Structure formats: structure tokens, C-alpha cells
């Protein structure tokens, strides 16, 4: 651990440019491209550069440049939602998107600054401190200000990398930390000054992590439970700029009614807010038709629609119609500025800039239980909620299947729908449950309990995805303990690094 690295006394423009490009390249590892080794190599470049500097300013700038390249490449779809569908002026939307990406870039910048001045041996700084700091800052990004866990590095490994074998144990943050460790081992083997044997040991460690992950993938953490259920996932493909227009409401209702009536499935799932009317405003004849269809098929129709009223609290909800008594789920984790305005006294002016219908939803209760519909126990989640694994497991192990309903028309023809589907694949791996995705414009998909997409519909098409799903029972370690084991490990390693730092500091 006493290896030394060639010094980089100050940051240069070529170094910042290399870091920026490395960050941008990492996005190709995520869906839809899915070249999963690229994020590992990208992070290895970043760690290798950071290992050569002990300057707080240089470490911060290198980390910030990497983060800027990463997030501008990965979440530039924010501009589409703000400008094209939110009605914000293009220049203001571009500025807001850049500032948002710059804020997110502060998290890798903190990693760069923190490692630069932490008084531990160079090898420990690279092999322990950097992976630890990376995992912790990604977790913080998924929590602070209600959280933005989009593009956590662990998602890039779904579904092909051996590292996803660790997902049922440590969740996406556990996978992300191991990915960072492999990147650190690569950087250590290339940048260190020392005997060849250390490079060999780095290679052995990387191979061991890969073999271990591959072996874990063969473990069946959960078991099939009950008979399979036939399902139909509806993709209405309603343009976002038409969705809430009163003159289009009848056309939307008729489109979904025709699609549902054509399916004999036990469980028919509509996308998020597919029916652009409050529950109380839905025509009685339409409601009766949904009830009759569910009973005729021996199951249920699960619709996405708002509940409540503008005169009081209203919710982003899913409601069941059919053989079982009507049940509902209200969205819990709301999107700031998209579904509610935080600190309304200060940020209320945003409502005048963004022309978003129903932008002040109330929050559903945290302790909602699975819906007993279609012969399954459904853990419903709405849009952005399936980005939070620790929240999904609240309904487990009781639930037998996961169902996500989304409307990603806000983001146009961008990477966002594919990135969102990849997060659903991770939720399936973490919980050992199948995941159904019913979306307005895509990606509508059936995902098995191993995180593989069994079937999907093309983006921006109108259609119904039919198939059969199997419910599962049992718990993965992640369902039992959530992020607690990873947080505990981080705490232990952090304590060790703190003790070493105290002993080494004059």
C-alpha cells in the first residue's frame, strides 16, 4: 500500500479536457447502448488522474470536469421537458439544464477534493478512499433534496455484467461501489510505481470479483408462487402537448377503451395518468365498462388517473376495476417542480414559468400495501418512484410482482426512457420479482426476475404488450435489509480511514 504515483502538481487544460471526455464516454455504458465496461474504464481514468494530485483545487476541478461531461451527456433530456413540454424559453431551459448538471457535477468534484487531502497512504487513498467516497456521494445524490439517483454507476451493469450478481445482496449502491473498486484497481495497476507482482494481484482481485458475481447470478433467491397471470400493458402514445387538452379527452378515453376491450388478459395495466380526468369526473358508463371488462376476464383493469379534486388535495394514483373490490395506490415520492413545488413561498413563481397541468400533487401514505388484483399481489409504483430501491421494498416480501406505470412523453426521443427502464431492471434483480412497465410512449416492457427484458414495445407506437407473468415469494438479502449492509460497510471503512488520518496528521 506504500506505492507512489507520478505527481501532477497543478491541473492543466488537457487534463480537464480528458476528464470531461471520460465522463461523457461513460454514458455509452448505460441504456440504450449498454457497453457496460465503459463506465469502469471511465472511472479508472478519473481515479488515475486524481491519484496523481494532492491539490484540493486540482482534485475538485478534475472531478467537476468529469461530472460535467457525464451529466450533460446523460441528462440533457431535462432541456426537452423544460422547453418543449414545459413552455420555458429555450435560452432559460438551456441555462437551467446546465446549472442542474453543474450541481450534479459537484458530487464527483467532492470525491476529487476529499481524496486529495485525506492523510492516508497513496495506495489506500486509491483503493479504499476513492471507491468509498464514490459510493457515499452517489447515495447522497439519491437522497439530498428528495434525491436524484439517475445514472448511479451500478445501473450501467444491468443486465449483462457479472457485477449484477451482487444486486440482490447490496442493491445498486453495492454494485456501484464494487464497480468503483474495480476502476480503482485498474488505475492502481497502471499508475503505481512498484513491482510487477502488485499488478498481478490487482488482476486477480478483479477476476475474483467478476467470478463471484457470476456465481451469485446462479442463486435463486426467490421461488415461484401461484399460477401465472396473463397480462396486457397498454401504450397509448398520446402526445404530451395533447394529453391534457379538453377537446382531446374523449379521443383518449376511447383509445384506451378499445385497446383494453381487445384483450382477454387477467391484468390489464394503463400508463400513468392515462385517463386525463379526475376519478370523480370519469363518466359512469366508462367506469362500468372497466368493471365489466375486469370481471369478464376474471381479473382487474389497473388505470392511471388523478384522484381528489383541485379544490382540495389531489393525488397521482392507480385504481383497480374488476373482480376484486376497487383498490388504489397514491404516489408517495413526488418530483420537485414537476409534481409539487417545494418551499412554495419562495419557488411559487416557477408555476408561472412552467405550464405543467396538475403540478401540486399531495403525497400518498408511506405505508400503503400491495394491491390484490389479477391473481397477484401488486407492488405498484408510479414513474420516478422505481428509481428508489429502498422505497420499493417497503411493500415486500408481501408483494408477488412489481408494476410501474409511467408517462415519459415529457422527455421526447432521448435516452431517458431507456435509462428509466434500466432502473426497473435493477429493481427486479434487487427484489427477485418480475417487473411490469406500462408507459404512455415507452419503454413498455415485461422484465423477468433476473432483470432481463422478455418483451417490449417500440417507442412512440400505439399498442398492447401481452404476455404471462409469474408471481414470486421469498426475500433477497436486499429485501430484508435494504441499504443497511452497504451503509454499515461504508461506516466501518470510513472509521478506519478516520483513525489512520488522525494518527498520521501532525
User: Of the residues 101, 279, 331, 339, which is catalytic?
Assistant: 331
Whether residue 169 is found in the same domain as residue 153: yes
In whole angstroms, what is the distance from residue 405 CA to residue 203 CA?
Answer: 43
In whole angstroms, what is the distance from residue 322 CA to residue 266 CA?
Answer: 10
Contacts of 372 (CB under 8 A, 6+ apart): 324, 327, 378
pLDDT, tens digit only, all 506 positions of the chain: 444 555 555 678 899 999 999 999 999 999 999 999 999 999 999 999 999 888 899 999 999 999 999 999 999 899 988 888 777 888 998 999 999 999 999 999 999 999 998 888 888 999 999 999 999 999 999 999 889 999 999 999 999 999 999 999 999 999 999 999 999 999 998 876 666 667 788 899 999 999 999 999 999 999 999 999 999 999 999 988 788 888 999 999 999 999 999 999 999 999 999 999 999 999 999 999 999 999 999 999 999 999 998 788 899 999 999 988 899 999 999 988 777 766 555 555 555 555 566 667 899 999 999 999 999 999 999 998 999 999 999 999 999 999 999 999 888 889 999 999 999 999 999 999 999 999 999 899 999 999 999 999 999 999 999 999 999 999 999 999 999 999 999 999 999 999 998 887 76
Is there a domain that residue 272 lies in?
yes
Whether residue 43 is found in the same domain as residue 169: yes
Nearest CA to 19 out of 8, 30, 31 is that of 8
Could you give the dihedral angle defined by the CA atoms of residues 255, 261, 266 and 272, in that order, rounded to the nearest 10 degrees? 10
Is there a domain that residue 243 lies in?
yes
Whether residue 212 is found in the same domain as residue 233: no
Whether residue 46 is found in the same domain as residue 31: yes
Whether residue 207 is found in the same domain as residue 279: no
Is there a domain that residue 480 lies in?
no
Grid coordinates representing 400 are 408477488
- Is there a catalytic annotation at residue 331? yes
In whole angstroms, what is the distance from residue 111 CA to residue 23 CA?
Answer: 14
* Number of domains within the chain: 2
Is there a domain that residue 157 lies in?
yes
Q: What's the chain's length in residues? A: 506
DSSP state of 371: E
In whole angstroms, what is the distance from residue 263 CA to residue 465 CA?
Answer: 10
Is there a domain that residue 6 lies in?
no
User: Of the residues 383, 385, 390, 430, which is catalytic?
Assistant: 383
Q: Which residue has the cell 478512499?
A: 129
In whole angstroms, what is the distance from residue 429 CA to residue 407 CA?
Answer: 23
Is there a domain that residue 23 lies in?
yes
Whether residue 254 is found in the same domain as residue 335: yes
What sign results for the dihedral spanned by CA atoms 87, 91, 94, 100? negative
Whether residue 201 is found in the same domain as residue 283: no
Query: In this structure, are strands 267-269 and 300-308 parallel, antiparallel, or unpaired?
Result: parallel
* Enclosing domain of residue 307: 223-475
Looking at residue 339, which CATH number applies to its domain? 3.60.110.10
- Is there a catalytic annotation at residue 272? yes
Grid coordinates representing 130 are 476513492
Is there a domain that residue 49 lies in?
yes
DSSP state of 226: S
Whether residue 300 is found in the same domain as residue 179: no
Whether residue 310 is found in the same domain as residue 167: no
Whether residue 215 is found in the same domain as residue 227: no
Whether residue 199 is found in the same domain as residue 107: yes
Whether residue 275 is found in the same domain as residue 139: no
User: Of the residues 138, 272, 279, 339, which is catalytic?
Assistant: 272
Is there a domain that residue 2 lies in?
no
Amino acid at each position: 500500500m506504500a506505492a507512489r504515483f507520478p505527481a501532477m502538481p497543478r491541473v492543466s487544460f488537457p487534463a480537464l479536457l480528458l476528464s470531461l471526455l471520460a465522463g461523457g464516454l461513460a454514458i455509452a455504458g448505460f441504456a440504450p447502448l449498454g457497453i457496460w465496461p465503459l463506465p469502469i474504464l471511465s472511472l479508472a481514468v478519473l481515479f488515475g488522474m486524481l491519484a496523481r494530485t494532492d491539490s484540493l483545487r486540482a482534485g475538485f476541478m478534475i472531478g467537476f470536469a468529469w461530472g460535467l461531461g457525464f451529466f450533460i451527456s446523460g441528462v440533457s433530456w431535462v432541456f426537452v421537458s423544460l422547453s418543449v413540454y414545459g413552455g420555458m424559453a429555450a435560452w432559460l431551459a438551456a441555462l437551467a439544464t446546465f446549472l442542474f448538471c453543474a450541481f450534479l457535477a459537484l458530487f464527483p468534484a467532492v470525491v476529487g477534493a476529499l481524496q486529495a487531502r485525506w492523510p492516508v497512504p497513496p495506495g489506500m487513498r486509491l483503493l479504499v478512499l476513492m471507491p468509498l467516497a464514490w459510493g457515499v456521494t452517489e447515495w447522497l445524490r439519491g437522497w439530498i433534496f428528495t434525491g436524484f439517483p439517475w445514472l448511479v454507476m451500478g445501473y450501467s451493469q444491468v443486465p449483462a455484467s457479472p457485477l449484477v450478481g451482487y444486486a440482490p445482496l447490496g442493491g445498486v449502491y453495492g454494485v456501484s461501489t464494487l464497480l468503483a473498486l474495480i476502476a480503482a484497481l485498474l488505475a492502481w495497476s497502471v499508475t503505481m510505481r512498484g513491482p510487477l507482482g502488485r499488478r498481478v494481484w490487482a488482476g486477480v482481485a478483479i477476476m475474483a470479483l467478476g467470478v463471484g458475481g457470476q456465481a451469485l447470478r446462479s442463486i435463486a433467491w426467490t421461488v415461484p408462487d401461484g399460477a401465472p397471470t396473463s397480462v396486457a400493458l397498454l401504450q397509448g402514445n398520446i402526445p404530451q402537448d395533447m394529453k391534457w387538452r379538453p377537446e382531446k379527452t374523449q379521443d383518449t378515453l376511447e383509445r384506451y377503451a378499445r385497446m383494453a376491450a381487445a384483450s382477454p388478459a387477467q391484468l390489464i395495466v394503463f400508463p400513468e395518468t392515462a385517463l386525463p380526468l379526475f376519478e370523480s369526473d370519469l363518466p359512469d358508463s366508462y367506469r362500468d365498462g372497466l368493471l365489466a371488462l375486469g370481471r369478464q376476464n376474471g381479473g382487474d383493469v389497473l388505470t392511471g388517473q388523478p384522484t381528489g379534486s383541485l379544490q382540495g388535495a389531489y393525488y397521482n394514483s392507480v385504481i383497480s376495476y374488476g373482480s376484486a373490490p376497487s383498490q388504489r395506490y397514491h404516489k408517495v415520492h413526488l418530483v420537485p417542480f414537476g409534481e409539487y413545488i417545494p418551499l412554495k413561498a419562495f419557488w411559487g413563481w416557477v408555476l408561472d414559468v412552467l405550464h405543467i397541468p396538475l403540478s401540486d400533487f399531495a403525497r400518498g401514505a408511506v405505508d400503503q400495501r400491495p394491491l390484490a388484483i389479477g391473481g397477484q399481489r401488486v407492488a405498484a409504483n408510479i414513474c420516478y418512484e422505481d428509481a428508489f430501491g429502498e422505497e420499493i421494498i417497503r411493500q415486500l416480501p408481501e408483494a408477488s410482482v412489481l408494476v410501474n406505470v409511467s408517462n415519459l412523453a415529457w422527455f421526447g426521443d432521448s435516452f431517458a426512457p431507456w435509462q428509466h427502464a434500466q432502473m426497473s431492471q435493477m429493481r427486479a434483480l434487487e427484489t427477485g420479482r418480475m417487473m411490469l412497465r406500462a408507459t404512455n410512449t415507452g419503454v413498455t416492457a415485461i422484465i423477468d426476475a433476473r432483470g432481463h427484458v422478455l418483451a417490449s414495445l417500440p417507442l412512440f407506437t400505439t399498442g398492447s404488450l401481452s404476455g404471462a407473468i409469474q408471481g414470486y415469494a421469498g426475500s433477497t438479502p436486499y429485501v430484508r435489509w435494504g441499504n443497511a449492509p452497504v451503509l454499515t460497510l461504508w461506516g466501518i471503512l470510513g472509521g478506519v480511514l478516520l483513525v489512520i488520518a488522525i494518527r498520521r496528521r501532525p
